[in-house]
């Protein structure tokens, strides 16, 4: 009954990818629980990640298309596109050279648990440093702030750290407001996850088989729908609330995993 496992993992990917709680960590843990077939995991993970990315593109399609159209004659639009690419480069470079090494040594529940707990503590501390009345327009992000976000995102190569969590923390430390740090994290996910997915899909092209079409389709749709719901709700949430609940969730889940491993 592979379809229900695909559905569960698709929802897990969509719900966790853009929240600061680590989608990779949750997929490692949940995949172990549902026992998704290992030979099919890599290809399946790629498809559900693509589904989640497309949800962001769909939700922000008007602004993203506007940036592309305005780019040739509007310095602000061109600048934001450039800053997003600059923020993407550090993790792209490290991921390209060290992905296999990281996957071989760090992709296990214990590392995920420690990363969840450590990331939760850091998120709690950083969130308290946020000042009021910070700029609320993503097009006001500076080059130095974009680079700070990009450097912070490199930590997400460690499973359990969370790409969203690392980039949001980087944005907060650089002086962005919660909503702007969150939206910039969403935009940064497009080249980051898009490039990683396409590269992984190219490498795994020989493993694609017709028998996997149903599971891949279910996972893709589940990730797209759940990500769209979560992203829209999350951006409204951070306009009125802190990241307190997500930080403590990370700590609790990390402790539960450590206890279960004893």
Residues 3-18 pLDDT 10s: 888 999 999 999 999 9
Given this model, what pLDDT does residue 135 score?
Answer: 63
Domain boundaries, the chain: 2-261
Tell me the percentage of the chain whose pLDDT exceeds 70: 97
Q: Of 30-34, 50-54, 186-190, which range is least confident?
A: 30-34
Burial-class residue 211 by CB neighbours within 10 Å (0-12, 13-18, 19+).
exposed
* Cα(181)–Cα(159) distance, integer angstroms: 21
48: phi then psi, degrees, rounded to nearest 5: -70, -30
User: What mean pLDDT do residues 182-195 have?
Assistant: 94
* Cα(129)–Cα(121) distance, integer angstroms: 13
* Cα(11)–Cα(35) distance, integer angstroms: 16
- List the one residue out of 124, 224, 108, 100 whose CA is nearest residue 172: 124
Q: Of 50-64, 96-110, 137-151, 230-244, which range is least confident?
A: 96-110
User: What mean pLDDT do residues 93-104 have?
Assistant: 88
pLDDT at 133 over 60: no
- List the one residue out of 260, 254, 237 whose CA is nearest residue 21: 254
pLDDT at 116 over 80: yes
Residues 207-246 pLDDT 10s: 777 777 888 899 999 999 999 999 999 999 998 899 999 9
At which residue do the structure tokens 């008007």 appear?
Answer: 62
Given this model, what pLDDT does residue 32 score?
Answer: 82
* Cα(98)–Cα(229) distance, integer angstroms: 33
Q: Of 101-105, 138-142, 190-194, which range is least confident?
A: 101-105
- List the one residue out of 93, 115, 108 whose CA is nearest residue 165: 115
Q: Which residues contact 182 (CB under 8 A, 6 or more apart)?
A: 168, 171, 234, 235, 238
CA terminus-to-terminus distance, the chain: 31
At which residue do the structure tokens 């853009």 appear?
Answer: 18
Given this model, what pLDDT does residue 117 score?
Answer: 96
């Amino acid at each position: 009954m592979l379809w229900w496992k695909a559905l569960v993992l698709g929802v897990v990917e969509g719900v966790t990818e853009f929240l600061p709680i680590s989608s990779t960590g949750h997929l490692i843990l949940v995949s172990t629980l549902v026992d998704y077939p290992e030979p099919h995991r890599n290809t399946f993970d790629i498809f559900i990640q693509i589904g989640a990315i497309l949800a962001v593109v769909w939700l922000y399609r008007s602004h993203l298309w506007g940036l592309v159209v305005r780019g040739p004659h509007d310095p602000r639009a061109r600048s934001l596109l450039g800053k997003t690419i600059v923020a993407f480069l550090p993790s792209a470079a490290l991921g390209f050279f060290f992905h296999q090494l990281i996957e071989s040594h760090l992709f296990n529940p214990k590392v995920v648990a420690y990363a969840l707990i450590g990331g939760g503590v850091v998120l709690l501390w950083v969130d308290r440093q946020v000042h009021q009345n910070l700029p609320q327009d993503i097009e006001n992000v500076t080059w130095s702030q974009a680079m700070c976000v990009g450097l912070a995102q490199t930590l997400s190569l460690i499973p359990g750290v969370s790409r969203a969590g690392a980039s949001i923390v980087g944005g907060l430390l650089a002086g962005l407001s919660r909503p702007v740090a969150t939206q910039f994290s969403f935009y940064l996910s497009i080249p980051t996850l898009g490039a990683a997915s396409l590269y992984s899909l190219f490498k795994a092209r020989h493993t694609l088989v017709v028998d996997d079409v149903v599971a891949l389709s279910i996972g893709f749709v589940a990730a797209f729908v759940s990500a769209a719901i979560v992203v829209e709700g999350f951006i409204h949430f951070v306009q009125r609330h802190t990241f307190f609940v997500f930080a403590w969730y990370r700590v609790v889940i990390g402790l539960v995993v450590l206890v279960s491993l004893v």
